[in-house]
Amino acid sequence: MHEVHREITRWIEPLGVTVHVDAVGNLRGIYPASETPASRLLIGSHLDTVPNAGAFDGILGVVLAAACLEALNGEKLPYAIEVIGFSEEEGVRFGVPFIGSRALVGRVDNDLLNIKDSRGISLRQAIQDFGLDPSQMDDAALHPDACAYLEFHIEQGPVLDKLGAPLAAVEAIAGQSKWELTFQGRANHAGTTPMNLRFDAVAAAAEWISGVEKTANGTPGLVATVGSIEAKPGATNVIAVEARLSLDVRHRDDAVRERGVDRLIHQATEISDRRHLQVRSTQHLNQPAVVMDPSLAAQVEQAIRKASCPPHRMVSGAGHDAMIIAEKIPAAMIFLRTPGGISHDPAESVIVEDVAKAIECGVHLLHQLASDTTFHPRTCRA
């Protein structure tokens, strides 16, 4: 990450950007306004990614922020621009996502700083090992003049590719529920135990997984995924005593999502009772859906048209830093087409012409906001 910070700094400092790293490791660069006092537009995304990842998730949004500044050719606008590269969004190391953007809205507290990774290293210690001071976390908060947030991001799905559309305005980010379910049965010999006398945790889990798919298919817009299964003892000749599964449920409407989760938990209980097993369910995340700022979304749609692209609005099924920043200031997102809809994989890609259109759209948007009276200095905070 130190190397990433140095490289991006090398790109943006010659553009007149003043760069620093905040207490949670976010890279932040300020491009000054043409006048003072001035409001501040944030443009950014995250610098981290997942194991075995592609090259564009997150980082493309930071590169596009830098490219938009470069495309201004030294022009100053009536508001300042803060380029931000969030240090952590994916939640890979500590199991908690959005640590970078949480710092901006004041949600990195002692409980979060004390969580530990798989090696027993706390977030607090990791920050110190990186050369930063976690006691200065308040300094990472949004600047008082922060007015709005814009994030470019690959779609990470197939919708725009199927439409043949390079760009889209995101109108909402789906809410997300994460659960862990554990079916508890009884271990026994695989060869000597008749089928009607088994208490097989994996068999119960398999029946439930089929129900997860059926429930999601029967509810428009709902997506539900069992992405992780762990069986114990994990031997080929032993009936599983335990099956531990993850559950990820998402929908743009929180009520629909929560009803879906309730139904799936009920199904797990019914299966367990019928099979004379036990089941435990633990919630790990309940992230509400977030609507992007309607005014900014309209501005994005106008800028997409000016870039000679067909306008399209859509819901993001993936979580993004924008949903955290939107707690404090208006936020908007611009999606870029993801060929094949492939993401979180080395095959993840973008189309060069789409990236050029995104820069063109971004510059149009910057100029639109410059003439927007709601972006007058110090008058547009939420």
Low pLDDT (below 70) residues in the chain:
375-382
Instruction: Look at strands 278-287 and 238-239 and give their pairing.
Output: unpaired
Structural domains of the chain, with CATH:
2-174+289-375 (3.40.630.10), 176-287 (3.30.70.360)
pLDDT of residue 373: 75
Distance CA 283, CA 35 (A): 49
Residue 25, C-beta contacts closer than 8 angstroms, at least 6 positions apart: 1, 87, 88, 100, 127, 130, 132
pTM: 0.87
Cis upstream peptide for 233 (omega within 30°)? yes
Q: What are the helix (H) ranges across the chain?
A: 2-12, 59-71, 99-104, 110-113, 123-129, 159-163, 201-217, 254-275, 294-306, 321-325, 352-370
């003439």: which residue's tokens? 371
DSSP output for 116-180? B-TTS-BHHHHHHHTT--GGGGGGGSPPTTEEEEEEEEE--SSHHHHHT-SEEEEEEE-EEEEEE
